[in-house]
Amino acid sequence: MLVQTRRHTRHPRLPDQVTLLHGPHQIIGRFILLADDAARRRGVYLSLEDDFDALLELNEANRRHWHPLAPSFDPRYGAHAGNAFWICGRNEDGEPVLTQVVRHFDMRNTTLAAELEKLRVFYGDPERQSAPDETCATSAPTARKITGSVVYSGGTWFRPDLRGRGLASIVPRLGRSIALSRWNTDHAFSLVLRKLVEKGIPRRYGFRSVEYAVDWRNSAAGAHLEFALISIAQDDFVFDLETAMVLH
């Protein structure tokens, strides 16, 4: 359970929680430090979390301005400390004010398109956990090319009073940086509604490719959700980190 107390007295600083294992250590390490510092200058104190029951509880407590947690990031459907982590940002009073979730998938013997269409991106046990008539289809060409070590970046939430401070350009990149170091990721992706694409969210989050469409039908989330597949490969992401070092 998340205890709402002063962050700097009860929660470790995020850079102290990260062990660099893979990728270009100098670039990743420097970006993590800069991102953490940029968040702190905006009044947000970041920590790395692996308690997904706490994430679910936080989501349910903030439903007025946060949609229900996607099943990919929900502990009831397979998200856990072994395959995922989340970033929590707290204000000076220790109140959680932002989240970013990263879920890892081993797709060495499959593709993202296949995993979406088999609903395994959403559920640990699709046969048991999905609705009888639930389907997902994708016509996004890159979905059939994404394979290997893959992460789904999502669960992004900013409490309304934190919006407009530039954190959307910092925190998603930070999550993908930690994932690259932890799992040596080949690709990162997210699923974004068209209205958010039109607002420029993919570019703000640092993704390079935007393709339509991923059509998810008859799920608990809605009768028909049309997403854009946004994605970035490892080499492009490392280059993006280098160019994003000018955080301010």
- As a three-state string, the secondary structure of 134-173 is CEEEECCHHHHCCCEEEEEEEEEEECHHHCCCCHHHCHHH
pTM: 0.93
Of all residues in the chain, the percent with pLDDT exceeding 90 is 90
* pLDDT tens per residue, range 5-64: 444 557 899 999 999 999 999 999 999 999 999 999 999 999 999 999 999 999 999 999
DSSP summary character for residue 246: T
Q: How confident is the prediction for the chain on average, in pLDDT?
A: 94
